[in-house]
Amino acid sequence: MQFKSIDELEIQGKRLLIRVDFNVPMDENGVITDDARIQATLPTIKYALKQNAKIILTSHLGRPKGAPESKYSLRPVARRLSELLKKEVKLAPDCIGPEVGKMVAAMHPADVILLENLRFHKEEEKNDPAFAKNLASLAEIYINDAFAVSHRAHASVEAVTKYFKEPAAGFLMKEELHYLNKIMVNPARPLAAIIGGGKVSGKLEVLKNLSLRVDKLIIGGGMAFTFLKSAGIEVGKSLVEDELLTTAQEVLESAKKRGVKVYLPIDCVVADRFDPTAQIKVTPVQEIPKDWMGLDIGPATTTLFGEALQNINTILWNGPMGVFEMAPFSRGTFEMVRHIINSGAVSVVGGGDTDLAVHRSGEAQRISYISTAGGAFLELLEGKNLPGVEALKK
């Protein structure tokens, strides 16, 4: 790795500013509905506690408009973190300013403070140097453990690093990059990418970049229908982006030129409505009725995709194979999880809904790595440099 991680620094008793991603989902009463992102940062926080560091955590939550809004307060997160750590976590009234400065100055070793939502200041998203300097003035050491926001050049992720001699990665960041390295930089080949989900448009750059890097490209989900239509197949009312038919052909051509093997669905589960109670049947893709839509890959496709994975050493998966949120169209996605596990390959899953789908399959623990990042994971698949990661490479 080209950067330091927390365990390579001398942090004993020091003031540590740790950028975490506590952007957790909450219901309308401010109750956290999924604390996975908080749990994911515990190794870093617990390590810093053992080293008697003074821990100052900082995060954004939701999309406030650059000013305080009580519904975006991190108070529920401070409470939850306090339960998980079994120790007091104080919520600061803001993330910068004299009050916060006083609180930090009064910290004892192994104290934990959570700063209030970074996005209560519009300067955060503007990567403002003065705001970053204020934030940096709270601590002696900066740790980024928020891979999920590292695709954003925001002050707490990018500008802030300029004020520290050795900005470093936390354990979550380190682990994410370790596995992403395994798929994007140094994969054990053959490498297969399984790409699914809704539309081609959201993943065009991902498809273009991957078609240059992988050995096999497996395409399922809604986006497969644009590819099938571009090959002259009538797909009825399935999700199609007509304006991308030529682009889909170009992706297939470019893959072919590089010797990448491409797999598309050969059959699908079709329904007469976008509804779990709709009429449903399985058809070859060539026989999708005019007024029906494909909402999952069919059993023959599942077998085909499973066979394609048998001699693979590394698998990267983004995007469900069908509308997995509705039981009648979830089978293709859940079977895919089974095939990935059975292949014995190193498997890395991430982006958007894919981690949710894998967790619902009940087999999440058998996947090698599930990324906590959505947008950052996709930007990495697009071949982009992530500002938050670049900023650590000093």
- Nearer of residues 187 and 352 to ligand AMP, judged by Cβ: 352
Please report whether residue 236 would count as binding ligand AMP according to CB under 6 A: no
CA 377 to centroid of chain Cα atoms: 5
Please report whether residue 387 would count as binding ligand AMP according to CB under 6 A: no
Q: Which stretch binds ligand AMP (CB under 6 A): 197-205, 209-217, 276-284, 340-348?
A: 197-205
352 classed as catalytic: yes
DSSP state of 343: H
For 292-314, give the DSSP string.
-EEEEE-HHHHHHHHHHTTT-SE
Question: How far is it, in rounded angstroms, from Cα 216 to Cα 196?
Answer: 14
DSSP helix/strand/coil, 215: coil
Q: How far is the CB of 355 from ligand AMP (least distance, A)?
A: 10
50 classed as catalytic: no
Q: Is the sign of the CA dihedral 191, 194, 199, 200 positive or negative? A: positive
Interface residue with ligand AMP, options 170, 322, 387, 388 (CB under 6 A): 322
Question: How far is it, in rounded angstroms, from Cα 369 to Cα 248?
Answer: 29
The answer to whether residues 196 and 220 touch, using CB atoms and an 8 Å cutoff, is: yes
Of 4, 79, 199, 360, which one is the catalytic site residue? 199
Instruction: Give yes or no for a cis peptide into 190 (omega within 30° of 0).
Output: yes
Please report whether residue 202 would count as binding ligand AMP according to CB under 6 A: yes
Q: How far is the CB of 188 from ligand AMP (least distance, A)?
A: 25
Please report whether residue 197 would count as binding ligand AMP according to CB under 6 A: yes
Interface residue with ligand AMP, options 128, 205, 272, 325 (CB under 6 A): 325
Question: How far is it, in rounded angstroms, from Cα 368 to Cα 7?
Answer: 23
- Nearer of residues 170 and 332 to ligand AMP, judged by Cβ: 332
Of 170, 196, 220, 352, which one is the catalytic site residue? 352
Please report whether residue 222 would count as binding ligand AMP according to CB under 6 A: yes
Interface residue with ligand AMP, options 91, 180, 183, 239 (CB under 6 A): 239
- Nearer of residues 215 and 353 to ligand AMP, judged by Cβ: 353
Please report whether residue 91 would count as binding ligand AMP according to CB under 6 A: no
Q: What are the start-end ranges of the E strands in 88-207?
A: 89-91, 112-114, 141-144, 168-169, 191-195
User: Other C-beta atoms within 10 Å of 128: how many?
Assistant: 17
- Contact set for ligand AMP, span 283-312 (CB under 6 A): 294-295
37 classed as catalytic: yes
Considering CB under 6 A, how many residues would be counted as binding ligand AMP? Answer: 15
- Nearer of residues 167 and 322 to ligand AMP, judged by Cβ: 322
Q: How far is the CB of 361 from ligand AMP (least distance, A)?
A: 14
Please report whether residue 193 would count as binding ligand AMP according to CB under 6 A: no
Of 37, 119, 203, 213, which one is the catalytic site residue? 37
**Which two tokens mark 236?**
């009825």
Interface residue with ligand AMP, options 30, 66, 198, 328 (CB under 6 A): 198
Q: In the bound complex, which residue of the shown chain has the CB atom lying closest to ligand AMP? A: 197
Please report whether residue 323 would count as binding ligand AMP according to CB under 6 A: yes
- The length of the chain is 394
DSSP helix/strand/coil, 203: helix
375 classed as catalytic: yes
By C-alpha distance, which of 173, 280, 286, 184 is closest to 225?
286
106: left (phi over 0), alpha (psi -120 to 50) or beta: alpha
Question: How far is it, in rounded angstroms, from Cα 189 to Cα 36?
Answer: 31
Question: How far is it, in rounded angstroms, from Cα 34 to Cα 26?
Answer: 8
Question: Annotated active-site positions, please?
Answer: 37, 199, 352, 375
Question: Which residues of this protein are in contact with ligand AMP, per CB under 6 A?
Answer: 197-198, 202, 221-222, 239, 294-295, 319-320, 322-323, 325, 352-353
